[in-house]
């Protein structure tokens, strides 16, 4: 019997962790999700994209993990961005008002571009 990995993680552009969630982010998969995110943060990185196109369910434990992650990243000058959220999961996110806390994008590419735009804004000299 082969188990399907609940997500795939990859670092792109040198410092953006992308996590593609597959199936559910629940009490079984959230601890492994948190471990991978912690490794990225411990390496000094603070930009994360979570691709939700195949996410089936988001538990209360997972919601708490995302809130804690965003709080920690904002303190470090980073952010977590959600991408490609589908129907029932978007309903959960709106119900708990997570859409007011996290940036949400139509797909992973738009989320990646938003990091580039933010970097360009902070690197631009101030106009006096």
Residues 6+ apart with CB under 8 A from 42: none
How is residue 70 written in tokens? 């965003």
**Distance of alpha carbon 92 from alpha carbon 99, whole angstroms:** 10
| Across 68-90, average pLDDT | 93
Q: What SS3 state is found at 16?
A: strand
The structure tokens listed for 104 are: 């949400």
Walk me through the domains of the chain, giving residue ranges and CATH numbers.
7-123 (3.30.750.24)
Please report the pLDDT score of residue 103 as a whole number: 94
Structure token pair of residue 79: 């952010």
Handedness of CA 7, 103, 89, 108 (dihedral sign): negative
Weakest mean pLDDT among 61-65, 85-89, 116-120: 116-120
| Band of residue 121 on the pLDDT scale cut at 50, 70, 90 | confident
Among 75, 73, 64, 80, CA closest to 31 = 64
| pTM: predicted TM-score of the whole model, two decimal places | 0.88
Question: With pLDDT > 70 as the criterion, what percentage of the chain qualifies?
Answer: 92
123 has a pLDDT exceeding 80: no
Model confidence pLDDT, tens digit, residues 91-100: 999 999 999 9
Q: What is the pLDDT of residue 1?
A: 38
């Amino acid at each position: 019997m082969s188990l399907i990995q609940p997500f795939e993680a990859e670092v792109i552009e040198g410092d953006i962790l992308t996590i593609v969630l597959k199936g559910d982010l629940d009490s079984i998969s959230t601890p492994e999700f948190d471990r991978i995110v912690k490794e990225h943060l411990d390496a000094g990185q603070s930009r994360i994209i979570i691709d939700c196109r195949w996410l089936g369910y988001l538990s209360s434990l997972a919601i708490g993990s995302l809130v804690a992650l965003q709080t920690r990243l904002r303190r470090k000058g980073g952010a977590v961005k959600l991408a490609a959220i589908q129907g029932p999961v978007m309903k959960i996110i709106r119900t708990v008002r997570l859409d007011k806390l996290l940036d949400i994008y139509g797909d992973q590419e738009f989320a990646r571009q938003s990091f580039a735009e933010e970097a360009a804004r902070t690197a631009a000299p101030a106009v006096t």
